[in-house]
Amino acid sequence: MKNRNALIIIAKYPDAGFVKTRLNGFMPDEKILELYKYLLEQTIHKLRTIPGVDTYIAYAPEHAEKYFSRFGAGLIRLSSCDLGLNMAYAFKTVFNMGYQKAALVGADIPDLTEAIILQAFDLLSDTDLVYGPAEDGGYYLVGMRMLIQEVFENVPWSSDKTLSKSLEQAEQFDYTVGFTKTLRDIDTIEDVKKAGFAV
């Protein structure tokens, strides 16, 4: 630990049939894999050396350590199949290491920038939680100053209600929330086409 802020990139090992599964049937398996690897590597390269921020990759499955170790970021091994449990575990891990603020992002947001990450950490000076809304009703970023387990519970993942339900959980427990700009993540074939990727 060198800095007070930790950025977590949550990622899956690029394995055909197991990444970007909502594209199955719309693109050939090798094209889906190629797209995912491109998004993943672009995200890591853009975000692994932000000033004042230590970057970690929270990865699954467990055997993928060798693949992710080549990126030169810290590693957090995930073992659950549940996205909420994995995100909570990743936050718990970095807070246990002594970080004062942490943000977690997906690996499939082409327009995510260093400036947005820094804005999220800045917002955490005055709020308990920060979200980066995605156009599809989910979120591409969540940040916090301590583990807030409740926002990972009773949430429908990969749905247009993901963010709204997370915000309901935050409101129920009186947590304050800030927001970064809304971006598009790459989940569906429409997202791929809008982003200008070849199908």
pLDDT given at position 88: 96
Question: Is the pLDDT assigned to residue 1 strictly greater than 70?
Answer: no
Question: Residue 114 belongs to what H/E stretch?
Answer: helix 114-123
Question: Is the pLDDT assigned to residue 31 strictly greater than 80?
Answer: yes
pLDDT given at position 188: 84
**Average pLDDT, stretch 100-115?**
95
Compute the distance between CA of residue 39 and CA of residue 193 in angstroms, rounded to an integer.
Answer: 14
The model's pTM: 0.94
Lookup result for tokens 């990743």: 90
Among 15-29, 93-107, 118-132, 138-152, which stretch is predicted with the lowest mean pLDDT?
Answer: 15-29
pLDDT given at position 192: 84
CATH number of the domain where residue 46 is located: 3.90.550.10
Contacts 24+ apart (CB under 8 A), 190-194: 191/136, 192/23, 192/27, 192/35
pLDDT given at position 71: 94
Angle between helices 29-47 and 114-123 (to 10 degrees): 60
Would you say residue 199 lies in a domain? no
Would you say residue 82 lies in a domain? yes
Would you say residue 154 lies in a domain? yes
Segments forming the whole domain that contains residue 42: 5-194
Query: Based on the structure, what is the number of domains in the chain?
Result: 1
